[in-house]
Chains A and B, each alone.
Chain A
Amino acid sequence: MQVRDLLGIYVEWSVNEKVAFEVAYAAAISGVRSLVAMKHVGLNVASDPLMSSAYTGVKEGFVIVSADDPSMWSSQNEQDNRFYGLHAYIPVFEPSSPAEAKELTKYSYGFSSQFKHPVILRITTRISHTRAVVDLGEVGKPKTKGVFIKEPRYVLIPTNARRNKLELVEKINRMVKELSKSPFNKVEGSGGLAVIASGIAYLYVKEALEKLKLGSEVTLIKLSTVYPIPKYLLIDALKDVKKVLVVEEVDPFVEILVRGLVSEEGLNVEIYGKNYLGYPFELTVERVYKALSRFLNIDTALRSEEGSKRDLRAELPQRPPTLCPGCPYRPLFYAVKMFAIRNKLNLVAAGDIGCYSLGYNPPFNLQDIIIEMGGGLGVANGLAKVVENTIITFIGDSTFFHAGIPPLINAFVNRSPQIVVILDNEVTAMTGHQPSPSSRFKDRAYVPIENVVKGIGIRFVKVVDPFNIRRVMNVLSSALEHVRKYKEPAVIVARRRCALEVMRDLGRLSLTAPSYIIDPHKCIACGLCYNWFSCPAIVPGSEGKALIDPELCVGCGACVNVCPVDAIKPSKPYDKESIEKYWF
């Protein structure tokens, strides 16, 4: 049973962040509390309605959860979305732990309802990706139906927007007073040396102070509401302080605001922050410990810095992430690579964001540009106009629906010659198998990608099974011909289900495909399967002959089409038909 059904609330995976934002906003202006969650770069996509939402305000609680990714564990940048709050006149709250994330969400709803204004809840990787004990407490019956009352404030024509802006400035000033009393900010300890810790930085500071055997000798100011800065709380907490260190994740957001405050109020406080902690990447206990030691003038080394100086890790082979065994994208990339080599093509591969980003790695090296979701197709439009290379674009199904349709239409109407490969595994695989508009899930309508492409008017549209390497290469050949002859885009939809989805479905039915084996008498040790196809389950054995690791092999059989001497076969006979149908 899902929480949605338990509470009777409405939940959806929207097609992109902008749409998600608008869906949730609509509820909030109709008197129904709502929440929209996305990663930091998602808020860029939703930034247009975000800006406007502050001008119109809302009727009931509206919480925007932005998960920032310091260290870029799975992102293209580490932008600090607290600046969106400053930029848009929207308060920003920042929890220090998973348990506080829940408490602060509840508080955010109350605050948002009170001020009839959206709230940004900014969390970072270690809040989002940490499991810890959270006490749920009482869950009330939520209100799920509302009324939209027509008011000029929702119509942002200049006269109304100007009136709203005046209200907005006044609202922010009222919030400062309220937030200076927020129970989520607190001052611990005392003394002339102070540390301001925002969000999760508070936990790192607590642990570092414990290691330094310091506690109440330092004034520790925990901030969980960072914009607008709780001015009156800080003026009071800093009145006897000589030096303050601001510890926060990513950019010097609180630091800049505190500098402003100190200057405005004429306080005699020296401010330290990123000059001691450094700018890039996520915080660690060690990093905070070093900055604190320097700030407090304590000379001490950490246990980890003693001991062996020899860095063993430098000598170990790297293990970059890779496409899973059974992934339909592997044979597709293999076919494109072989096609490019055979035809001596000087390809520029405009890539995009999804599992297929992994095509950047050797041996494929088929992602030359990755900037944002939908970016590959857009950039390819320009490349096709200025460079001599053959342009090939890769985009996944959910990324295509997210932001790939406008640049494809642009490519068509402005006649941009490029081969567009849409990789359709019918799910948003990289982020954990959320439905895509191309997913054939029950209770959802679905959109076959080729219908969209044909609807645009594009003349070359072919659907292929990526496991059929020979056919993929033939289709690539005719697509190239089309692009060269007509100077317009040609689209190939490579469709086969994500292997993880297939394995899960087979598991539920207690079905398994046997792993595959190599016939050592037939194998000629050419290395095509382990060097070029590069399935993690296939490794070189003695004399360069291939071996299949039965622990990793999922029995997809994709490698069979790669072997030039037919040396790969199932470890035992099975009814291939009965398994094969789950792949489509």
Chain B
Amino acid sequence: MVLNVVVVGVGGQGLLLLSRLIGESVIASNTDINVSVAETHGLSQRGGSVIVHIRMGKEVFAPLIPRGEANIMLALEMLEAARYLDYLSRNAIVAVNDKVIRPIALKGSLPSKEELLSALKSKSSNVYVIKASETALALNAPLSANMALLGFIGYILEVKGIIDINMVKEIIKGVGRGRVREANLKLFNYGYSAARNLVRDDIINKLPY
């Protein structure tokens, strides 16, 4: 069995770094779990819609996750969370940053946060809203919102025995410098606590790998 994670958001929000750190954490934790991280660079990176596919398991084949088979979604932006809804398996765990980024040259209206959330909730009863951007901005490190989602999935993967959380913290210390490094760790802890408080262990235990 394979545990499938999609990471979605807007190019420039640090999705590729977040995804890479998840992959590196799995490898550094030295279990028998394999991991692949498939991303799309180029045009999609410049403020466009981005999805990254992460797969972990004893044996991982295709790099892309089939629609309907993602067990976890980490979303840095709500519109993008809704856009990739059809990747979710029923009752997948969805951690979504409480943030909407307005597309430029928008035609028509922007859906409200409530509408986007209810779309997500129609697909899963395990949707958790995380104030990652707000917390990051308060720490004067707006680009570190991704670390909160790393903390969130960090807790889940720790419970599953896929990663060693201290290993992840070591890896984070290698990212950024000075003030940003401190903010990264704070945001990681924020996301980690959020998952510990919000996600029941029985839901985590049902996840495959």
Contacts and interface: CB of A to CB of B under 8 A. Distances in A.
Interface in B78-113: 79-80, 82-83, 85-86, 89-90, 99, 101-108, 110-111
A362 B105 contact: yes
Interface string B7-28: 0001110000000100100010
A129 B36 CA distance: 10
B208 interface: no
A316 B41 contact: no
Contacts of B85: 312-313
Contacts of B64: 126, 284-285
A161 interface: no
B110 A133 contact: no
A322 B23 CA distance: 28
Interface string A199-242: 01001101100100000000000000000000000000000000
A304 B67 contact: yes
Interface residues of B, number: 63
Query: How extensive is the interface on chain A, given as a class?
Result: 35 or more
A302 interface: yes
A334 B110 CA distance: 25
A207 B48 contact: no
Contact of A207 (B39, B62, B101, B145): B62
A204 to B, nearest CB: 5
A136 interface: no
Interface in B105-146: 105-108, 110-111, 119, 122-123, 133, 136-137, 142, 145
Contact of B46 (A307, A322, A549): A322
B68 A303 contact: yes
B38 A126 contact: yes
Nearest to B122: A308
B89 A74 contact: no
A323 B86 CA distance: 28
29 contacts: A74-B40, A74-B41, A75-B42, A129-B40, A130-B38, A131-B36, A132-B34, A132-B60, A285-B62, A302-B68, A304-B66, A304-B69, A307-B90, A308-B122, A312-B85, A313-B82, A315-B111, A316-B82, A319-B47, A319-B80, A321-B47, A323-B47, A355-B46, A357-B43, A430-B43, A432-B41, A508-B177, A534-B104, A551-B142
Given A313-B82, A317-B103, A322-B104, 7 more contacts: A285-B66, A313-B86, A316-B79, A319-B103, A534-B104, A551-B136, A552-B142
Interface of A: 73-75, 98, 125-126, 129-133, 200, 203-204, 206-207, 210, 284-286, 289, 302-308, 311-313, 315-324, 355, 357-358, 361-363, 430-432, 507-508, 510, 531, 534-536, 539, 549-552
